[in-house]
Amino acid sequence: REILEQIDYPTQFIETILDIISEHDTRNGYRTKEEAVMRDADKLWRVSKIGFYDDIRQSNDTAENYHNQLASKIRDPNFLFLESSRRIAEVELSVRHQEFSA
């Protein structure tokens, strides 16, 4: 709140932002469309080129195994909330598979 108020962020959005932050990745489901978008965007980082390979390095997993884990997760409606997020994840995961399979 302090930071948002210091930069004169529009007050009508502050409570929504604080609510999303307060239960980041811990709440089952989502309360608002904005929260669903934010949580999905955060999870989509895992299928981005940087996120995918960073997670593999940190976990000492193989690209194939991590790919398969993510493929399973993105089909779970409790992992990604929006259909558009699932489509993005599927495309990005396909690109990652092509990269490490080449």
Question: How many C-alpha atoms does 92 have within 13 Å on its Cβ side?
Answer: 20
Q: Supply φ then ψ for residue 72, to 5 degrees.
A: -70, -45
Give the amino acid at 99.
E
pLDDT in the model for residue 65:
97
pLDDT in the model for residue 25:
67
pLDDT under 70: residue ranges of the chain: 24-25
Residue 67, C-beta contacts closer than 8 angstroms, at least 6 positions apart: 93, 96, 97, 100
pLDDT in the model for residue 21:
86
